[in-house]
């Protein structure tokens, strides 16, 4: 069983059906799933995206807002989500720290690798926000980066689908879910479970990526425990 993991949620994961903002029912559910991991002595880092509020690419589309500023807005959106997740986890009695790649010291700690590791060792969940702190990156890349930095054994990309498919399951009814796929194949076949930068970073550092459905109750724990009933796809060599 993995001892330390990094879970990546997209911002949209928090939004529910509407795709915008934060739905407290979903937040509550996600926090309860993380609680199960903590109860099983798993050290958990979390990265949350910000797509439920702003994405730099969309914000800068009309030309009024520069992409760099749009990305700053997107990174700040991840802070909103991280603070919300912190509250939900604390509601369940879990010790949590939020660490930001951009300094916002009135709201949360700044990212300090050694401090993050110390929190994890003490059984605290650490939520990493503001992505990498740099425009033109994504929170998938931030998640991979942080996973490597905290020496997590895997990155779990928690999605609304069960895993990686050979084609888009929303478009093709005969799409087949792949249990395992190599980094090279994921890059070559342009399988968009994570962006290319994050897959390449995981590949270079031999970090396994596990794609699973966050909406299947108890699945996250099964994935980490290596339970044969776990529903997921693994990207590794």
3-state SS assignment for residue 53: coil
Please report how many Cα atoms fall inside a 13 Å half-sphere around the Cα of residue 215, on the Cβ side.
12
| 110 vs 225, beta carbon nearer ligand UDP | 110
| 30 vs 40, beta carbon nearer ligand UDP | 30
Give the dihedral sign, CA 31/123/78/140. Answer: negative
| 96 vs 158, beta carbon nearer ligand UDP | 158
Provide, rounded to whole angstroms, the least separation between the CB of residue 14 and ligand UDP.
9
Give CA angle at 83 (101, 214), nearest 5°.
95
Q: Which residues bind ligand UDP (CB under 6 A)?
A: 10-12, 49-51, 55-56, 70-71, 74-75, 77-78, 131-132, 134-135, 137-140, 142
3-state SS assignment for residue 234: strand
The verdict on whether residue 159 carries a ligand-binding annotation is yes
| 43 vs 71, beta carbon nearer ligand UDP | 71
The verdict on whether residue 133 carries a ligand-binding annotation is yes
Provide, rounded to whole angstroms, the least separation between the CB of residue 1 and ligand UDP.
27
The verdict on whether residue 36 carries a ligand-binding annotation is no
Provide, rounded to whole angstroms, the least separation between the CB of residue 27 and ligand UDP.
14
| 55 vs 203, beta carbon nearer ligand UDP | 55
Provide, rounded to whole angstroms, the least separation between the CB of residue 37 and ligand UDP.
20
The verdict on whether residue 53 carries a ligand-binding annotation is no
Provide, rounded to whole angstroms, the least separation between the CB of residue 172 and ligand UDP.
23
Q: Where are the alpha helices (DSSP H) in 52-151?
A: 56-59, 67-91, 113-121, 139-149
Give the dihedral sign, CA 195/125/220/170. Answer: negative
Which residue's CB atom is positioned nearest to ligand UDP? 49
Give the integer Cα–Cα distance in Å for 21 and 63: 24
Q: Where are the alpha helices (DSSP H) in the chain?
A: 12-15, 24-39, 56-59, 67-91, 113-121, 139-149, 183-188, 196-204, 219-225
| 24 vs 182, beta carbon nearer ligand UDP | 24
Sheet holding 109-110, edge to edge: 109-110, 96-100, 125-129, 43-48, 4-9, 154-159, 209-213, 232-235, 180-181
Provide, rounded to whole angstroms, the least separation between the CB of residue 195 and ligand UDP.
8
The verdict on whether residue 168 carries a ligand-binding annotation is yes
Q: Can you say which residues are annotated as belonging to the binding site?
A: 8-11, 50-51, 55, 71, 132-139, 159, 165, 168
């Amino acid at each position: 069983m993995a001892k330390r993991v990094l879970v990546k949620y997209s911002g949209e994961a928090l939004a529910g059906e509407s795709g915008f903002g934060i739905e407290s029912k979903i937040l509550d559910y996600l926090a309860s799933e993380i609680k199960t991991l903590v109860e099983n002595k798993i050290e958990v880092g979390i990265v949350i995206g910000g797509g439920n509020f702003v994405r730099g690419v969309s914000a800068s589309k009309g030309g009024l807002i520069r992409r760099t500023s749009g990305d700053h807005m997107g990174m700040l959106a991840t802070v909103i989500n991280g603070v919300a997740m912190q509250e939900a986890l604390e509601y369940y009695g879990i010790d949590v720290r939020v660490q930001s790649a951009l300094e916002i010291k009135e709201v949360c700690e700044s990212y300090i690798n050694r401090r993050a590791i110390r929190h994890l060792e003490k059984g605290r969940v650490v939520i990493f926000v503001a992505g990498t702190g740099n425009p033109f990156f994504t929170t998938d890349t931030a998640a991979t980066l942080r996973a490597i930095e905290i020496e997590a054994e895997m990155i779990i990309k928690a999605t609304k689908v069960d895993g990686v498919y050979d084609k888009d399951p929303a478009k093709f009814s005969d799409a087949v879910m792949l249990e395992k796929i190599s980094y090279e194949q994921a890059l070559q076949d342009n399988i968009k479970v994570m962006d290319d930068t994050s897959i390449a970073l995981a590949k270079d550092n031999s970090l396994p990526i596990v794609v699973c459905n966050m909406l299947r109750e108890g699945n996250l724990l099964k994935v980490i425990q290596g339970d044969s009933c776990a529903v997921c796809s693994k990207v590794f060599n």
